[in-house]
Chain A
Amino acid sequence: MATVVLESLRKSFGKTEVIHGVSIDVEDGEFIVIVGPSGCGKSTLLRMVAGLETVTSGSVAIGDRVVNDVEPMDRDISMVFQNYALYPHMSVFDNIAYGLKIAKLPRAEIAERVKNAAEILQLGPYLDRKPRELSGGQRQRVAMGRSIVRKPAVFLFDEPLSNLDAKLRVQMRLEIKSLQRRLGVTALYVTHDQVEAMTLADRMIVMNSGVTEQIGKPLDVYASPKTAFVAGFIGSPPTNFLESDPTQRVLPASCRLGIRPEHIRVVDPEQGVCVGTVVFSEPLGAETLVHLRLLDGQSLTLRQDGLLRVPGENELIGVAWNRSDEMIFSADGKRAFREEEDNKGSPDT
């Protein structure tokens, strides 16, 4: 229930700068996911919004108020930590109620709010237990409960699901999303899991070594990555990068051609844009990943429907793709365009 505006935010630890000027406008009620590889500064960025880390330069504004020098408790935020950070000696009830007790809310209201939160999160039967008597998923819910009872303007999540097993992760992902929708609270969510990012985000921010590479709707980011890093990071398996165009056409100097595995089709060798030998295939049921070595030695991964024939090892096959699916990246990693290319696939969305 508030906007969050980061303006050319920088952070240095000692002499090393780890966040190099990040600017983001988060709208009221938006679910923003910050995604990037380990060590790129996601947590640091989030912690600056929370007030747990000081701001070296730039500003953080929550709901039109610059909060650079405001204590975390007065920022109207709540945070869910990766390891949940539940108070081990307190019952679930006390864990959820602690913030309210400090805020000196009347007992009746505390009980009421905790009850509501417990109901939403199905924690009713566990209110008297200690955190260690709960499963990972339940602990996760308690951490969520602790953050929703305070009715903050902004939810902050730092990889809240990374300690859960794959199945629970999917389930909690849905719960977090529906909870955020129901409460209409602005959320900033950090993860290194691109599936989480794609499914949760209204808009996602792809970060790489302290800078934002791209901000946009998940599908837009997927469809038209602005940089080679984004193209390689979003999508699984990652985009193929070819140094030289195997289709015999000439690439602009020192540019790379990116093509997503799912955009490549297997065809007869003589009909293909190029040909290659199969190094190995990975049939995954619904889909099959085929790893190829092209004639000029470059490798290429393609992804095809699981119902199609799985090419055998060392088989010579042809591959083809639509030119509109090609992405050209210049040497500095930025997206470049061929002259003849129409605007389809332009990254400016």
Chain B
Amino acid sequence: MADTGGMVENRGIQRWLTHMGLMIGVAFIFFPIWLAFVASTVEQQEIVRPPMPLLPGDQFVDNYARALTAGVNAPVMRMLFNSAIMALGIAFGKIAISLLSAFAIVYFRFPGRHLFFWLIFLTLMLPVEVRIVPTYEVVARFGMLNSYPGLILPLVASATATFLFRQFFLTVPDELAEAARVDGARPMRFFIDILLPMSRTNIAALFVILFIYGWNQYLWPLLITTDPSMNTVVMGIKQMFPSGDDTADWPVIMATALLAMLPPVVIVIAMQRLFIRGLVDSEK
């Protein structure tokens, strides 16, 4: 006991140091968020007058209620709703399209299979930012400015998810498809009954990634939504900054920023549980 005591102590100190390091890191990252939170709970005058308060004030309910119902240009509630539609639309749309196209590429031998595969591959090199001008033109001509389809569709077309599913489908043994065929399952039945449930961990992972990707879109919504009631929350924050000499309503802006951060956090935490269950359950 006695001679191992030193080592245990030693390890204790080491662990302490590591944790200290981590805590400092967390505090460092968390500090701006804390400041934003503080700013969202005080009155406008308290923020602009130095020194900045470091402890929350008593205007929490007031500021958030104001942000949610009135906002600056549009109620934040409305913008959160727009963001949610856009993020969910992108996540579901991408997952559905990429599952189906990966299914086609892996399981069917059709003419031009390789060509399509390479075309999809090429889109990887063309994120929205690169093709933004022609895409804008197309969306505008379809009359989809200031609309949900306009927000969602151009971002749905991309290949990353298709690749992920293709890779996964390739690891599924061929015998499974053959067994299903002998059992009498037609291709779509096999897809729905067997391939989909087997991909559920991948789907969950992608959903998280794509939801956040969609939620954080900035440039595209900024470009095609001119009507404040179609603004998404991430770009909406920017729109709240006053132009010229107007004073910024910092408490409301900060409250909006925090509200904008919330859904991705909730999604990550909620899906994490599904993740872990999926990992523990993992098949094959």
Contact = CB atoms under 8 A, between A and B. Distances in A.
Partners in one complex: yes
Interface of A: 50, 52, 71-73, 77-79, 81-83, 85-89, 98-99, 102-103, 130, 132, 146, 150
B83 to A, nearest CB: 33
A52 B181 contact: yes
Given A87-B194, A88-B284, A81 B175 contact: yes
A186 B180 CA distance: 22
Query: Chain B interface: which size bin?
Result: 10 to 19
Given A88-B198, A89-B283, A72 B176 contact: no
23 contacts: A50-B178, A52-B178, A52-B181, A73-B182, A73-B183, A73-B185, A79-B178, A79-B179, A81-B175, A81-B179, A82-B175, A85-B175, A87-B176, A87-B179, A87-B193, A88-B283, A89-B194, A89-B197, A98-B183, A99-B182, A102-B183, A102-B185, A130-B283
Contacts of B197: 89
- Residue from B178, B189, B194, B198 with most neighbouring chain A CB atoms (10 Å): B178
Contacts, number: 60
A122 B197 CA distance: 28
Contact of A99 (B173, B184, B284): B184
B198 to A, nearest CB: 6
A102 B189 contact: yes
- Residue from B175, B184, B189 with most neighbouring chain A CB atoms (10 Å): B184
B182 A72 contact: yes
Interface of B: 173, 175-176, 178-185, 189, 193-194, 197-198, 283-284
A82 B174 CA distance: 12
A71 B181 CA distance: 8
Contacts of B173: 83, 85
Give the 10 A-B residue pairs with the shortest CB-CB distance, closest first: A88-B283, A73-B184, A85-B175, A99-B183, A85-B179, A102-B184, A89-B197, A81-B175, A72-B182, A79-B182
B181 A73 contact: yes
B194 A77 contact: no
B198 A78 contact: no
Contacts of A82: 175
Contacts of A130: 283
A82 B178 CA distance: 12
Given A83-B175, A85-B175, A85-B176, A132 B283 contact: yes
A237 B56 CA distance: 87
B120 to A, nearest CB: 27
A89 B180 CA distance: 13
B194 A103 contact: no
Nearest to B179: A85
A98 B192 CA distance: 13
Nearest to B175: A85
Contacts of A88: 198, 283-284
A103 to B, nearest CB: 6
Given A87-B176, A102-B183, A102-B185, 19 more contacts: A50-B182, A52-B178, A72-B181, A73-B184, A78-B182, A79-B182, A81-B178, A81-B179, A83-B173, A85-B173, A85-B178, A88-B284, A89-B194, A89-B197, A98-B183, A98-B185, A99-B182, A99-B183, A99-B184
A132 B280 CA distance: 12
B186 to A, nearest CB: 9
Nearest to B178: A52
A83 B172 CA distance: 12
